Amino acid sequence: MNVLLGVGGGIAAYKAAELARALMEGGARVQVVMTAGAQEFVQPLTFAALTGRKVITDLFSSASGDATLSSAIEHIGAAQQNDVLVVAPATADLLAKFANGLADDFLTTTYLAFTGPVILAPAMNTNMWLHQATQENMKRLRARGHRVVEPDEGHLACGMTGPGRLASPDVIASAVLAEGNRRYDLEGETILVTAGPTHEPLDPVRFLTNRSSGKMGYAIAEAARERGARVILVSGPVHIPAPRDVTLVPVRTANEMRTAVLDRLAEATIIVKSAAVADFYVSSPPNQKIKKTAARLSLELDPTPDILSELGRKKEDRLLIGFAAETENLDREARRKLEAKNCDMIVGNLVGGDTGFDSDENEVVLALRTGETLIVARASKRVIADRIFDEALRLRLALYARQ
């Protein structure tokens, strides 16, 4: 796999050297392009030594002051000869140029000529990242189908604390290598995915919910679509954009999710039930806001419908994959849920730490109908999603062989 690594002009440029090494260790051949700003932080010689290849630093290289024809069209060659374009760090300036089609250096010009998958790893000051202009640019770039490796939160070089740190080079490398090794082994499948939390109203302004961000379910939907499947995504309320070319069915409550899933069950060949559905709800919430008083308030809660159990009874020959978010005894609880809900696979993950809810990463166990339990090491949720489908296809063959 040939990877074009664009390095933007930010303090995180030094981490791009670690990314280049990780990509090469993963079997990629890396060509580095540096902006003028990036060269203020890291010398091109660093990347040349790591990759063993020329580092491209300017749109026009010249001898005796005259640009040659070959150098003038080098960006076209770079666009045609590489399989994946990854930009890390992707600065606010680069994101704005990409979003608006500006091309004033080698990297931005190559971006416009590049027709393959693009992966962006933003890094910048927290206020710059959260600024409306940057977020609007990100929305536009995501809409083009570009994958974004979200920045981490933490202490930044500017002294602020918040989102904006470049994601781990290993996480970025995993996303790039997964993109380069993309398969189309789900063509002909219709995959029904549920994602996100549900909101169960207590009154017109309050509701019961949980910490699910929807990132795992959306990564599953994206992975399925990129592997050739038709995808129906039934999603509770989240704050992330839906993957491109999926059918999004927005819902709010557990009952709405149940109705949406059952309405589309006949279309599905594989069901991935990753939503974190609330366990209880108020069956008849008041029409007016409950006023705060000094007295204690008691709520009468009813259990929400068990969508996964109902799917287990109705799935027929469909592959049914459920999720189990646990705080202890993960292997045992995943296996118990597999049997109780009549699933073919349960994806179990521990919650309450720095993976799972709200995180871009996960580490899971896969409890399979065949009796196997597989441990999947910590990785980006997109990588985890691909591993789930790898094992699902293998599981289907094993189950068919038993028949």
User: Is the pLDDT reported for residue 69 higher than 60?
Assistant: no
pLDDT-above-90 percentage for the chain: 70
CB-based contacts of 331, cutoff 8 Å, min separation 6 = 348, 365, 367, 373
Determine the average pLDDT of the residues in 242-262. Answer: 95
> What is the model's pLDDT at position 401?
75
Residue 157 has a pLDDT of 67
pLDDT, tens only, 326-352: 888 888 999 999 999 999 999 998 876
- CATH code for the structural domain at 2-180: 3.40.50.1950
Q: How many CB atoms lie within 10 A of CB 296?
A: 5
Burial profile 53-74: b = 16 or more Cβ within 10 angstroms, e = fewer: eebbbbbeeeeeeeeeeebeeb
Which letter does DSSP use for residue 151 in this model?
A: P
pLDDT of residue 5: 96
| Residue 72 reports pLDDT greater than 50 | no
Q: What is the pLDDT of residue 65?
A: 40
pLDDT for 174-232, tens place per residue? Answer: 889 887 777 789 999 999 999 999 999 999 999 999 989 999 999 999 999 989 999 99
β-bridge mates for residue 365, sequence order:
348, 375
Residue 76: pLDDT band with limits 50, 70, 90: confident
Give the pLDDT confidence score for residue 203 in this predicted structure. Answer: 95
pLDDT at 317: 93
Residue-level pLDDT at 256? 98
Q: What's residue 75's pLDDT?
A: 59
Q: Specify burial of residue 112 (Cβ count, 10 A radius: 0-12, 13-18, 19+).
A: middle
Residue 66 has pLDDT above 70, yes or no: no
Q: Please write down the HEC assignment for all residues of 212-281.
A: CCCHHHHHHHHHHHHCCCEEEEEECCCCCCCCCCCEEEECCCHHHHHHHHHHHHHHCCEEEECCECCCEE
Residue 298 pLDDT exceeds 50: yes
Query: Stretch 121-149: mean pLDDT, rounded?
Result: 91
Per-residue pLDDT of 346-400, as tens digits, reads 999 887 666 667 678 888 999 999 999 999 988 888 889 999 999 999 999 888 7
Task: Please tell me the class of the 190-402 domain.
Answer: alpha beta
pLDDT > 70? residue 233:
yes
Domain extent listing, the chain: 2-180, 190-402
pLDDT, residue 63, reads 39
pLDDT, tens only, 89-99: 999 999 999 99
Q: For the residues 304-308, what does the mean pLDDT come to?
A: 97
**Average pLDDT for 108-128:** 92
| pLDDT score, position 333 | 92
Determine whether 158 is an active site residue: yes
DSSP H or E stretch at residue 67: strand 66-67
DSSP-derived 3-state class of residue 91: coil
CA distance 74 to 87: 18
Determine the pLDDT at residue 355.
Answer: 63
Mean pLDDT to the nearest integer, 108-118: 91
Task: Give the active site residue among 36, 133, 158, 374.
Answer: 158
* Angle (nearest 5°) at CA 174 between 172 and 175: 65
Q: State the pLDDT at residue 353.
A: 65
87 neighbors 94 (Cβ within 8 angstroms): yes
Residue 163, pLDDT score: 83
Residues 6 or more apart in contact with residue 323 via CB below 8 angstroms? 216, 273, 274, 275, 276, 346, 347, 348, 349
pLDDT of residue 252: 98
Tell me the average pLDDT of the chain.
90
With cut-offs at 50, 70 and 90, classify the pLDDT of residue 152.
confident
Which range has the worst mean pLDDT, 12-21, 66-75, 159-168, 297-306? 66-75
